[in-house]
Structure 1
Amino acid sequence: MSAMLELYEEDDDDDDDDDGLGTKLTVESDHESKPSFYKLSHDNTSLCLATDFSKYNATEDRPIFKGTAPARINGFSQFNQVALLSEENDCEKDGTQSQECGLTLEQDTKVNMVSLTILGLRLLFLKTIVFNVLMTLRLWISQ
């Protein structure tokens, strides 16, 4: 583990508040993982999302991430960062374009059979409950 400590200067104003700007401590892991970049688009808005990187300053070589800070989700050890894209900016470095994610779900016959079996047992249970309620009502009416 390594730590980076940044000290900020205090206000020199003669205001009533004596609070300084504070101290910032960043702890980084020795294990380095590079960021993955994703371009997200909806209507006319495009974002560049950098995910799963271990170094706090891993995206500072990209101009689109200037002015934004990486965030670490509570409980996770990796950083994420997002930036708004303009028309002339591209999310990928060196002009390479992202590729479609080719993940597909394949059907599993065993899972389908188990799901159908559970559905059938639920229907049988419901039918048994309805039959018992009807027989109970019939018995009460006949007395």
Structure 2
Amino acid sequence: AVLSLRASRPASSHCVTQSGGWKLLFGSGTKLTIETRTPSDPSYYLLEKDSTQACLATGFSAYNATDKEPLFNQTKSSPTRIEHEATFDKVVLVQNATDCPSGKGSASGECATEGFFETDEKINFLSLTILGLRVLFLKSVVFNVIMTLRVWMS
């Protein structure tokens, strides 16, 4: 459910009364948005590269959802959340593959990254501009060195 309040007159304040006698006062121009979040449990994945193994807990909505797992409870790392995402992720290095808890996630398989990385036209244009300026600078340095060598030889 989404609740939005906006002040219609600049000089007035709005009052919302809750059960139990609580009053919430909103000043002019104040907007309140309340969104409900559906709770989700973490999915666990075992990640392997050469001899390094890590256990990834992903897709959980509560900050301390991994605290009930002893592997994640022992580490000092904190869950992270990507900007504009509703869920947290946490990763821990493991010694044995059996240490990673089995949950909704699978312990093997390929990760699909299609659609995750989006290109930005502005960043692409700026990168191309910087590359062009570097090439132009390199050409001017080479030209100056060649002209200096010609002057010294004559």
The TM tier, using the shorter chain, reads: 0.3 to 0.5
Greater RCO, CA 8 A, separation 6+: 2
* Higher Rg of the two aligned structures: 1
Normalising by structure 2, we get a TM-score of 0.41
Normalising by structure 1, we get a TM-score of 0.44
